[in-house]
Structure 1
Amino acid sequence: MISRRNIRVKVMQTLYSLEAQEPARSAAEETQKPVGKPVDPFKILQKHFDQSRQLLSYLIYFITEVSRYAETASRLRASKHLPTAEDLNVNIKLAGNELLWKMLEDTSLKKAMDTDKPQLQDNGELIRKLYHDLTATPEYQQYITVQGRDKKSERDILEFIFSEIMLASEAFVSNVEELFTNWDDDGEMVSQLVMSYLAKPGSLDFQEIVSKEKKEFAKQLLQTVIEKKEVVMDMIRPRLKNWDPERIATLDMILMEMGVVEFLYFETIPPKVTINEYIDLAKDYSTPQSGQFVNGILDNIHKDLVREDKMHKINFKAN
C-alpha cells in the first residue's frame, strides 16, 4: 500500500499548490476583482490519491491487453490473403491465462477501469509492439511450449510481461511519463502494488488503495500545517536570520513546516524519523543544498524543544 513517504509527498504537493495560488488570490483582492471560491485543500489531496489509482489501473490494463493480444495476432495472421501454416497456427495460450481471467473478472478492477477509462487512450500500436517484443523472448517460448497450466507459470509470465517487457520498454515508460505527471513520485510504489496484485488477484480494493489510517494521517498532517502555520512559523523565523527569505525555496519552507508540525502534534512519530524523512524529501524535490538546510533548521528546533522541555507531543485537535 501507499507508504508514509508517499503520503508526505502528496501533502507537500498539496501545500505547494496552495502556496502557488495564494499570490493570484491576493492580487485579485487588491484590484477588487472577483475572487473565485476558496480552494479546498482536501480536494487537491484527494486528486493526488486518485492519480495513484489511475496509474495503477493503467499499468494493470496494459498487462491484460498485451496478454489478450495473442488472440488479435492470431486473427490478423489468419486473415492474410495467403496465410502460411504458421499464420494459421498462432499459439494463443497466453490469452487464456487463468490468472489473467481472474483479473478480468475482478469486480474492483472492473469498477476502476470504468472510472479511469484507460482504454480511451490510443494504445493500440504500443500494445502490439510490446506483444511482439514478448513473443521474441525465450521466456515466452518456454511458456507456450509447456502443455497444461499451473499457477506459478501463469503468474510468472504476467510478472515477466510487466517487469521485463513493459518497464524495460523505453516507448512504454515514455508513454506513461507523458500521461502521468506522478510517475516519478509513484512509479516504484505503484509497481510494487502491481506485483502484489499479480500474486493475488482480487486482493486489492482499487477504490481504497490508501488505507483509512494512512488517509487520516494525510488529512491530519495537511490540516495541522494549515491551521498551525503561525505557531510553526514563530519557531522557524528566528532561525532564518542569516538567510534571505526571498531566496529560501518554497518547498524548503513547506518541508520545515511539516517537520515542526510532526514534532509538536504527532505523538507516534519519533523526531529522528521526522528529520530523516524531510531531509530525504528536500534532497529529492528541492535544491542541491536543501537537504543540509532543512536538516540544520529542524535539528536546531528539535534540540531547543528538548532543552526547554517542550517536547511533549499532543494531538493537534486537543490544542
Structure 2
Amino acid sequence: MQALYALRQAEFSNQQMALDGINDLFQPDLNSMEPQNKRQLEGYRKLAGLLFEEAIKTNQPAHDDDAPRQVLKAANDGFIFYQSRFKKDRQHLAQMMIKQVNGIYDDYLRVLTLLIELGHAARVDRERQYRDPDEAPFPFESDLNDNSVVKALADNQPLRNEVLRHNISWTEDISFVRKALREVLKTDDTYRAYCAQQTHTADEDQALAQYILRTLIFKHDTIRDHLAEIDLSWTENSEVVRGLAIRTLKSAQGPSGLQLEPLTDDWEEDELFLNTLFEKALDNHAEYEQLLADQLQNWDVERVAFLDKIILTLAVCELLNFPNIPVKVTINEYIELAKAYSTPKSGKFVNGILDNLSEKLQASGRLRKSGRGLLDNK
C-alpha cells in the first residue's frame, strides 16, 4: 500500500516535471533579436501539453499529423522522460518495499540487543566507586545484568550471528543506553524493587524482562521516540516486533532454551506474494480501475479518498490473482488497512464496495478460488 501510494505521488511529480520541460521549450527567447510570436508559442505549448497527457492515458507515443513537428517532438520527449522516471521509481519502490519489511527483523534484533546493552550499563553503573553526592540513592543488591533472561540473550550464539549479519549495534549510541538506564529504568518502581533483592527466581526474571520490554521499551517516550528516530517505520513495525520479542523472551524458560523467532514462516513465499501483488496491481491498473468505477457509479469518484482507491485496487488484485486466499480474509484485511490508514469512514466504505464487487465477480465466474481459498472465513 505504501509503495503504491509513493509511486502514485511520484507519477504526479514526474508528470509535472515533464510538463514544466514542455512549457520551457515554448517560452519566448529573451536573448533573441528576432520578433517572438507569443500567441503562437502559447498555442504550441498548450497543444504539446495535451498531446503529452493523451500519450500518458494511452501509454503510446503521441500521433497527430496536423501538429507541428516541434510540438509533436516536445510531447513525445516529455512522454519518454515520464516513462523513464516511472520505470526507475517502480523498480526503486519495489526494492524499498522488501527492504522495509526486512527492517522489521532489524528492529526485532535491535530491541533484543537493547536489553543486553541495558544489562551491561546496569552492571557498570552498579560497580562505579565514585557517585555524585546529589545522586538519588538506589538499591544495588542486584541489577539487570544478573537477570537470567538477559543472560540467555547475551549468551545466544544465533542472536550474535544475526546481529553481525544485519549490522545491528548500540556502540555508537551508548550515551542513549546510559540515558535510558538513568532516566527510565532507575526511576521505575518495578525495576527498583527487583534490584532491592539479591536473588530472583526464573519466573521473577522472566516477569522483569517482560515488564521492561512491554512497558518501558515499547511505551516509554524516551526509548520509543529514540527507536522511531532510528527507523522511521517504527510506529508501524512495533506491533509485529513486540510479538516477536515477547515470544523470544518466553522461550528462555522452554525446554530448548532461548530461540530466535523468524520474521515469517516462509519468507520466500511471502516475498513472492508482496512482489506479485505490487506488480500485478500496476500491470492491471486500468482493468481494476474499470471494475471499481462500475461499483462507484453512485459515488462522487473525485471525493473518494486517494488512499481508499489504492486499498481497493490492491484488494481487487488479491481477489483475482491469489486463488488460495479466501474472499473473506482478503476483504477483512483491507477493511483493517482502511481503518488504520485512511479516513474514519473508510472501513465501512471499503467493506461495502468489496462485498458487492466480490459477489459480482463470483456470479460472473471471474473469481475462482481453490484449496484454502474455498474456505468461507466469516
Which TM-score band (shorter chain)? 0.7 to 0.9
Cα–Cα, structure 1 residues 144 and 237, in superposed 2: closer, same or farther, change >3 Å?
same
Give the alignment of 1:87-102 within 5 angstroms: 90-102=140-152
Cα–Cα, structure 1 residues 27 and 17, in superposed 2: closer, same or farther, change >3 Å?
same
Contact 2:323 2:370 in 1 (8 A): yes
Give the aligned residue type for 1:48: Q
Give the aligned residue type for 2:160: K
2:3 corresponds in structure 1 to 14
TM-score (normalizing by structure 1)? 0.79
Contact 1:263 1:274 in 2 (8 A): yes
Contact 2:248 2:259 in 1 (8 A): yes
Q: List structure 1 segments (4+ residues) > 4 angstroms apart after TM superposition.
A: 32-37
Identity of aligned residues (%): 23
1:193 paired to 2:248: no
Give the aligned residue type for 2:266: S
Cα–Cα, structure 1 residues 278 and 155, in superposed 2: closer, same or farther, change >3 Å?
same
1:44 corresponds in structure 2 to 96
Alignment match of 1:294 (pick from 347, 350, 373): 350
Q: Which runs of 5+ in 1 are unaligned?
A: 1-11
2:235 corresponds in structure 1 to 184
Cα–Cα, structure 1 residues 51 and 81, in superposed 2: closer, same or farther, change >3 Å?
closer
- CA distance in 1 between counterparts of 2:361 and 2:369 reads 11
Give the aligned residue type for 2:9: A
**For residues 60-89 of structure 1, what are the alpha-carbon distances to aligned partners after superposition, in whole Å with 9 as ceiling and x for unaligned?**
23222222222121233x124889xx89x9
Contact 2:186 2:192 in 1 (8 A): no
Q: CA deviation at 1:200?
A: 2.3
- CA distance in 2 between counterparts of 1:194 and 1:113 reads 14
1:211 corresponds in structure 2 to 266
1:131 paired to 2:181: no
- CA distance in 2 between counterparts of 1:80 and 1:67 reads 19
Give the aligned residue type for 2:205: E
Q: CA deviation at 1:58?
A: 2.7
2:360 corresponds in structure 1 to 304
1:4 corresponds in structure 2 to none
Alignment match of 2:117 (pick from 65, 81, 84): 65
Q: Which runs of 5+ in 2 are unaligned?
A: 22-76, 253-257, 372-378
Q: CA deviation at 1:153?
A: 3.0
Q: CA deviation at 1:144?
A: 5.4
1:9 corresponds in structure 2 to none
Give the aligned residue type for 1:53: Y
Contact 1:57 1:118 in 2 (8 A): no
Give the secondary-structure state (helix, strand or coil) at the position aligned to 2:141: coil
Q: CA deviation at 1:109?
A: 2.9
- CA distance in 1 between counterparts of 2:185 and 2:236 reads 27
- CA distance in 1 between counterparts of 2:339 and 2:97 reads 22
1:253 corresponds in structure 2 to 309
- CA distance in 2 between counterparts of 1:210 and 1:227 reads 28
Contact 1:266 1:314 in 2 (8 A): no
- CA distance in 1 between counterparts of 2:326 and 2:133 reads 71
Comparing 50-59 and 265-274, the one that deviates more? 50-59
Contact 1:69 1:131 in 2 (8 A): no
TM-score (normalizing by structure 2)? 0.68
Alignment match of 1:105 (pick from 137, 147, 155): 155
More relative contact order, 1 or 2 (CA 8 Å, 6+ apart): 1
